[in-house]
Amino acid sequence: MNTNTITERITVLGLGAMGRALAGALLAAGHDVTVWNRTPGKADGLVARGARSAPSVAEAVEASPLTVVCLLNNASVHETLEPVVGKLAGRTLVNLTSGSAQQARELASLLGEHGVRSLAGGIMAVPPMVGTEGAVILYSGERDLFDQVAPVLSPLARPHWVGEDPGFAALYDRAALSGMYGISAGAIHAVKLIHAEGGDVETFKREVLAPWMELTLPLMVAGAVVSEEVPEEYNADMQAVGLETMLATSAAAGVPDELAGHLRASLWVMRRAAQAGQVA
């Protein structure tokens, strides 16, 4: 099969904020788009732009050889797809709903048993970013299917394949978000600390925090290792002492202990590294 065998008729199931953005980008790229949403009314803006609104999931999936699913969670995906899985046989399904790696593997397996080829995806973008430079969608599943689908779905975001294992798109997506939330937690803790002691948060963010985080982010990513090694120049003992001071400063300022979890996690890493003899 080459890319031409998947036509440009595409069905989108789920018209939340992300589903509407995806369907809109496909319409803007000239695709023939059929949409369905559990609650009526969300298709109106897309219909005005040329989409067809299907009255049922079954009619929606029968309208196109390729269906993109973007629902709230794994439970809503199964609730929506299981009654129509027979109608999907011989078609292709791309699930862009967030979930766990195991959920993605189970869905791929269920679909495969019913003759449905599928890819799992993880959207690395928020709705306004869809269709713009910088937006990425991670895909996993069979490489040849990705090669067919990627050009068709490239108007959504840059397609990036991460492996044959259907769980890998979810795994990479969840892991990348873990990195992002780690940064977010650190930034929130930092401004709470400044505020608690009467500092000017906006000045701190602009003049100290933002430049510092921009400088250190690449080092933090490069220094994240799986083993208990930290780069020698980090000096794990020294880092552990510094982290204890940060925790004490936070406690003295009355910042809730729940916001200091990232410091305790780093302290655990540095103590393990020091114990493993990775000290400069």
User: Interface residues with ligand FVH (CB under 6 A)?
Assistant: 14-19, 37-39, 42, 70-73, 76, 79-80, 97-98, 123, 126-127
Residue 179, C-beta contacts closer than 8 angstroms, at least 6 positions apart:
221
Q: For residues 176 and 247, which CB has a smaller minimum distance to ligand FVH in the complex?
A: 176
User: Can you tell me the distance from the alpha carbon of 77 to that of 271, in angstroms, rounded to the nearest whole number?
Assistant: 43
Nearest to 138 by CA among 110, 176, 103: 176
Minimum CB–partner distance for residue 172 and ligand FVH (Å): 13
Tell me whether residue 70 or residue 246 sits nearer to ligand FVH (CB atom).
Answer: 70
Smallest gap from Cβ 38 to ligand FVH, in A, equals 3
DSSP of 17-81: HHHHHHHHHHHHTT-EEEEE-SSTTTTHHHHHTTPEEPSSHHHHHHT-SEEEE--SSHHHHHHHH
For ligand FVH, the closer of residues 16 and 131 by Cβ is: 16
**CB nearer ligand FVH, residue 126 or residue 252:** 126
| Chain residue whose CB lies nearest ligand FVH | 16
CB of 71 to ligand FVH, least distance (A): 4
Question: Could you tell me if 51 and 28 are in contact, meaning their C-beta atoms sit under 8 angstroms apart?
Answer: no
Q: Considering the complex, state which of residue 19 and residue 159 has its C-beta at the smaller distance from ligand FVH.
A: 19
CB of residue 252 to ligand FVH, shortest distance in Å: 37
* Neighbour tally for 28: CB within 10 Å: 14
C-alpha triplet 91, 62, 19: angle, nearest 5°: 85
Contact 123, 18 (CB under 8 A): yes
254 is written with which tokens?
């009355």
Question: Given the complex with ligand FVH, which of 76 and 249 has the nearer CB atom?
Answer: 76
- Minimum Å gap between C-beta 124 and ligand FVH is 7
Least distance in angstroms from the C-beta of 51 to ligand FVH: 14
Tell me if 83 sits within 8 A of 59, measured CB to CB: no
